[in-house]
Amino acid sequence: MKSFSSSSFAGQQTDALALARAAVERNPQALFTDFQWFLYEGRDTVFFTAFSTQSYDQDGLANMVAEMIALAPQLTHGFVGAQPGQPFPKHLLDAITSVEMVDEFDGYPDKWLSKSADIFERKDLPLFRVMAAVRRGGPDAQGRAAVLQVRSSHALLEGSDSALLTRSASASHGVQSDKSNKLPFGDRLKSALRGGLTTFIYLVLANILAPKEQPWGFRTLAIERHRLRLLANKLGVRQRSLMFALVTHALNGEGDEKHMSKKVIGANYTMLDTKRNDTDDDFFRVRALEAKFKVMDDFVDYVRAVDNTVAGIEQKDITSFQVVINSMFKAMRAVNRILPFLPNKRFWRFNGGNHIVLTLVPPHRTYGPMTHGLVEPLYCGAWHSEVNICTFCPSRDYVTFNFSMEQRHIAHVDKVSALLEEIERREVTPHTMAPSVERLR
């Protein structure tokens, strides 16, 4: 997505907007970057949900959506008839918002979570939906009057956008790459070649090794932040290492019965990095990293090994993997222009043998009119085709663990809480705190 700054000269601004609108008329996704295009084609989706002390009606929800698109104008992109940056007419607001009445909030928010395939069913509607469930009898014993959910194509929103919108702050994306910080030509060439080769290998292997579509499930957990902080200090590890280890160790299982791997758990995890370069995507702020966690039966040994692995990765160059991934997106989009039937359905079901994606989004803290009435815990997660994902969403008092996984793994989510309680009770040998241990601000 290109950014059109209001500080540009008037003539340039008018010309740029005219060109953008003409491009969108020909192709609704014309302004998408390669990364956005890839997530759109994969039908990847994200969600944010929370309970509220205030009720909602159709007009109130529509007004909230109008505020959302003012703060995040990228929500006006990507559909047939889109007018980038312009407010939605009433018929569009009505089409993408809904309010239902419920007797109780039992089962929420989990009963609401899904792949959100409906977002893509109509090409003439925006690529997001906002819905509210209002308690028929008024607020419950906890003061909750409604539950709110925002669902979007991942091409339009990422975790940092959700964090900004929660604070009623602008989530508009300028150009995220830094054209002045050029990678050496040799590095760019090597990454481009690796990206092209990766694309070819994935297309071939996907059509040979792609698994059948699996039954899918969604779950959430809310854990008090102080518990994670105290235990991380007790173990001498980073809080995110503790969370990564709790999830992967619990879901993998104990003894000889392992559900992911008996030797090494292959994980991708994400972080934000302010040191940008000219090969970075112009829309997304997120950066992906690869990790291999050696399987160990003893959790204390395992979490410390995970912490050492994370430290080792982040002391090295954290840009190279993302550069290759961006090159792959670019190559795949070029292939699609020539051969529109690629990538096919088998490609999207192939994850290269990766066991899990671990995403830690920026802290979500409610502030301002956008989130007036919302109460913790706050839930934020994603669905990618055939990719097991756990998204960690920290707020003031809680961190929520948001699972989108094969149903066979969802059955073991409760073991995360059981493992946490077990390690809290255990006497642990003191361990030197790893350097640069981060706080979840």
31-166 classified as CATH 3.40.50.11610: no
- pLDDT for the residue numbered 195: 83
What's the pLDDT tens digit per position in 118-165?
Answer: 999 999 999 999 999 999 999 999 999 999 999 999 999 999 999 999
Distance between CA atoms of residues 283 and 173, nearest Å: 6
- pLDDT for the residue numbered 24: 74
Structure tokens at 191: 């990454």
Distance between CA atoms of residues 324 and 139, nearest Å: 50
- pLDDT for the residue numbered 383: 98
SS3 of residue 272 by DSSP: strand
pTM: 0.91
CATH of 185-425, one of 3.30.559.30, 3.10.270.10, 1.10.10.60, 1.10.460.10: 3.30.559.30
Residue reference for tokens 């092209």: 196
CA distances, 199 to each of 242, 266, 328 (Å): 34, 20, 6
Distance between CA atoms of residues 306 and 294, nearest Å: 8
Q: Where in the chain is the domain with CATH 3.30.559.10?
A: 31-166
- pLDDT for the residue numbered 437: 46
Q: Where in the chain is the domain with CATH 3.30.559.30?
A: 185-425
Distance between CA atoms of residues 189 and 412, nearest Å: 44
pLDDT tens, the chain, 441 aa long: 333 333 333 444 455 556 666 677 789 999 999 999 999 999 999 999 999 999 999 999 999 999 999 999 999 999 999 999 899 999 999 999 999 999 999 999 999 999 999 999 999 999 999 999 999 999 999 999 999 999 999 999 999 999 999 999 999 987 766 667 676 777 777 777 888 898 999 999 999 999 999 999 999 999 999 999 999 999 999 999 999 999 999 999 988 889 999 999 999 998 877 676 777 899 998 888 899 999 999 999 999 999 999 999 888 767 778 888 999 999 999 999 999 999 999 999 998 889 999 999 999 999 999 999 999 999 999 999 999 999 999 999 999 999 999 999 999 999 999 999 999 999 888 775 544 445 454
What's the pLDDT tens digit per position in 224-234?
Answer: 999 999 999 99
Q: How many CB atoms lie within 10 A of CB 363?
A: 18
Q: Are 52 and 145 in contact (CB under 8 A)?
A: yes
Cis peptide before 377 (omega within 30 of 0): yes
Residues 37-42: contacts with CB under 8 Å, at least 24 apart: 37/155, 37/329, 37/333, 38/329, 38/332, 38/333, 39/153, 39/154, 39/155, 40/78, 40/127, 40/153, 40/155, 41/336, 41/343, 42/348, 42/384, 42/385
CA distances, 139 to each of 133, 142, 144, 367, 373 (Å): 12, 7, 5, 21, 12
Q: Of 6, 5, 126, whose CA–CA distance to 68 is shortest?
A: 126
- pLDDT for the residue numbered 141: 97
Instruction: Provide φ and ψ at 242, rounded to 5°.
Output: -60, -45
